[in-house]
Structure 1
Amino acid sequence: MYKTHTLDNGLKIIGEEIQHLKSITLGILVNAGSRIEDSQISGVSHFIEHMLFKGTKNRTSKEIASEIDNLGGQINAFTSKENTCYYVKLLDEHIDIGIDVLSDMILNSKFDKYDIDKERLVILEELKMYEDSPEDLAYDLLTENIYNNKGIGMNIIGTTKSIDNINRENMFEYFEKYYTPNNAVISISGNFKFEELVEKLNVKFKDWKSKEVNLNIEESEFNSCIITKNKDTEQISLAMTLKAIPRENVNEVYALSIINNIFGGSISSRLFQKVREEKGLVYSIYSSQSLYRKCGELGIFASMSKKNLKEVYELIKSEIVEIKENYLTEKEIQQSKEQLKGSYILDLESTSSRMSAIGKAMLFNDKVRTTEEILESINNVDIKTIKNVIDKVFNIENIGVCIVGKGVDKIKL
């Protein structure tokens, strides 16, 4: 069972006690990601994530890393379109050190100008790294064009220009605006006693000042497009996206998970079996869902030789049309439900996955569904809901396509 507590300053704490483990993962999730950034400083959420590891009033950058590393633990962070998370994973006996380090990073980071300028170079190298990955590049270009490079369409890392525009003043202004206790959640999973940990967290975070936060979450308009990017690669990368549903449509979200599993989300899926196993045209092909507040996408990716591109593209389209016209069989739906439940249960064996899942649920929905409730929701998805979601999502005329590879600007699909 999950336990929750809210400190006087509005900081929400959610924890799941798992007494048979010897580890614990504790994360601080902030309701701020690339989606809400000003385009002039696109990437500032991710830049701040880097800077919180660069030193505090009490610790150097090396001390932040070594205090956790020397205990055999992990300290890391990630930035997404909608939130930023900082976390530690440690043996339960060392959690006090983890709390001390994370609270120091959140409350006492220096944002030193010299460190900012140095880290800017690191982030520009990170941007180049992603641009050297055809799969990442294809998805990023596609998302930018689908959403006209606004909101959800902005790159999490930013652009070369926007990264250069970020300075200490606008970075700290953004930090002060969104890094507030009433806009954050602390999520814990593992071996601990909830009430004891709440007391320790209160000592560290009680002086974190709350303030009014206005998040401008707008619906992002989906624009169909076909774009190409020449890149000297051995294979062609094909990314496609269908407009899907927002994360708040809870019942439909479970239905889409079932559909995606059958369509391209597993090795037994239609796409994998048809395009790879039967035709032998690709090594990698899959679909996945990315659901946000007020919008969502069903993405499809495949990589192949240039000579196979058109056939793979047509096969994917034919599978979209097939599901749209004939829906799914009862047998497929039941098998997909069992597969999803099994995957969900296996994910629960990781305290990091559990911390992230319950933390995001609390951050976005202010409540967490129990394991039993989630499994029941998967079981209760009916054919009517599945058909309604297919009708909404599988529309071949409402699709985005991006092709990355050598000489792709000359390709006509």
Structure 2
Amino acid sequence: MYKTHKLDNGLTIIGEEIPYLKSISLGVWINAGSRIENEKISGISHFIEHMLFKGTKNRTSKEIASEIDNLGGQINAFTSKECTCYYVKLLDSHIDVGIDILSDMILNPLFDKKDIEKERSVIIEELKMYEDSPEDLAYDLLTENIYVNNPLGMNIIGTTKSLDEINQKDLLNYFDKYYVPNNAVISISGNFDFDEMIKKIEDKFNSWKQREVSVEVEKAEFNPCFIAKNKDTEQVNIAISLDAVPSENTEEVYALAVINTVFGGSISSRLFQKIREEQGLVYSIYSSQTLYKKCGELGIFASMGPDNLKEVYDSIIEEIKNMRESYLTEKEIEESKEQLKGSYILGLESTSSRMMSFGKAMLLNKSVRTTDDILKCIDDVNIDIVNKVIDKIFNVDKLGVCIVGRGVEDIKL
């Protein structure tokens, strides 16, 4: 059962005590991601994530890493379209060290000009790494085009141009604007006493000053498109996107999860069984849902030899049409619901996944569903809402398609 507490400075703490474990996962969540950036500062949320590991007034970059490493723990961070998270996983006896380091990173970062230049180079190398991954490149290009002229379509890492131009003043202004306690959440899962944990966090974070902040996002309109990019690879990678449902539409979100499991979200799914197992055309094919505030998408991804591209694409289109024409059977819906519940419960065995799940929910939605609530939401999915969501999403006349591979710019599908 989750417990919550808000400090006087507006910092929200949410925790789940699991006394039979010997570890704790703790994350500091900031309500700032690439979706609130503009082209000039594209990638700044991710840049700041890197800079917080480059040293504080009290620790060098190496000390931040080694203090956790020496305890056998983990420290890391990530930036998404809608938020940034810094987290540790440690033995329960070492959590004080984790809290001290994370608070030091959040409250006392240096943003040294020399470090900024070094990290700029590191991030540009990271951008090149993703561009060398055809699957990542296909998805990034697709997202850029289906959400054209909207920050949601911008790469989380940024562009070479924006990364070259972001300076210390930009970083500090963005950091001061969004890194405030009333725009943050701390989530904890593992073996701890909640009241004692509040005191530990308050002791380290009470100097964090509250300021007015507004994080508003506009709806990103889905733009059907077709993009092909030549890249010298052995396989062709294809990414297809369907306009889906936003994260706040609870009933439709869970219906889509059921649909996705049947369609391409598992090895027993229609896409996998037909295109890989029956036709033998691919090694990798799957679908997944990505949900944002006010919009969402259902993505389909596959890799294949160039000679199989047309047949794979046609088979995917056929399966999209089949969903719209034949829907799901009651048996498929019930089996999918059981599969979802099993996967969800198994995922709860990790303190990290629990901390991530309710930390993000509290940050973005201001509320968290209990395990029983989530299982009920899955159980409540029925054939009527499933059919409604299929009618809304599975439309072959409104697709985003991106193909990356050798000679694909001349291919007609």
Q: Smaller-chain TM-score range? A: over 0.9
- Distance (Å, rounded) in 1 between the aligned partners of 2:340 and 2:83: 25
Could you say which residue in structure 1 is the equivalent of 2:274? 274
- Distance (Å, rounded) in 2 between the aligned partners of 1:214 and 1:78: 22
Q: Secondary structure at the match of 1:280?
A: coil
Could you say which residue in structure 2 is the equivalent of 1:49? 49
After TM superposition, the score normalised by the length of structure 1 is: 0.99
Amino acid at match of 1:46: H
1:264 is displaced (CA, Å) by 0.2
Q: Secondary structure at the match of 1:140?
A: helix
> Alpha-carbon deviations, 1:152-201, whole Å to 9, x = none?
10100001001011110011101111011000000000000000000110
1:143, 1:149 within 8 Å by CA — same for their partners in 2?
no
1:216 is displaced (CA, Å) by 2.6
- Distance (Å, rounded) in 2 between the aligned partners of 1:239 and 1:166: 31
The percent identity for this pair of structures is 72
Is the deviation greater in 141-150 or in 402-411? Answer: 141-150
Q: Figure out how many residues of one structure are paired with residues of the other and give that number.
A: 413
Could you say which residue in structure 2 is the equivalent of 1:177? 177
Could you say which residue in structure 2 is the equivalent of 1:386? 386
- Distance (Å, rounded) in 2 between the aligned partners of 1:291 and 1:396: 20
Q: Secondary structure at the match of 1:130?
A: helix
- Distance (Å, rounded) in 1 between the aligned partners of 2:156 and 2:369: 28
Could you say which residue in structure 2 is the equivalent of 1:158? 158
- Distance (Å, rounded) in 2 between the aligned partners of 1:216 and 1:366: 14
Could you say which residue in structure 2 is the equivalent of 1:201? 201
Q: Secondary structure at the match of 1:299?
A: strand
1:28 is displaced (CA, Å) by 0.3
> Alpha-carbon deviations, 1:266-325, whole Å to 9, x = none?
000000000000000000000000000001000000000111001100100010000011
* 1:346 matches 2:352: no
Q: Secondary structure at the match of 1:58?
A: coil
Q: Secondary structure at the match of 2:192?
A: coil
Could you say which residue in structure 2 is the equivalent of 1:60? 60
1:194-273 equivalences in 2 (<5 Å): 194-273=194-273
Q: Which runs of at least 4 in structure 1 moved beyond 2 Å after TM superposition?
A: none
Q: Secondary structure at the match of 1:72?
A: coil
Could you say which residue in structure 1 is the equivalent of 2:137? 137
> Alpha-carbon deviations, 1:333-360, whole Å to 9, x = none?
0000000000000110111100010001
- Distance (Å, rounded) in 2 between the aligned partners of 1:60 and 1:241: 43
Q: Secondary structure at the match of 1:404?
A: strand
- Distance (Å, rounded) in 1 between the aligned partners of 2:197 and 2:7: 12
Amino acid at match of 1:181: P
Q: Secondary structure at the match of 1:281?
A: coil
CA RMSD of aligned residues (A): 0.6
- Distance (Å, rounded) in 2 between the aligned partners of 1:75 and 1:313: 41
Unaligned residue ranges in structure 2 (runs of 5+): none
- Distance (Å, rounded) in 1 between the aligned partners of 2:13 and 2:214: 21
- Distance (Å, rounded) in 2 between the aligned partners of 1:179 and 1:53: 15
Amino acid at match of 2:161: K
Q: Secondary structure at the match of 2:402?
A: strand
1:149 is displaced (CA, Å) by 4.7
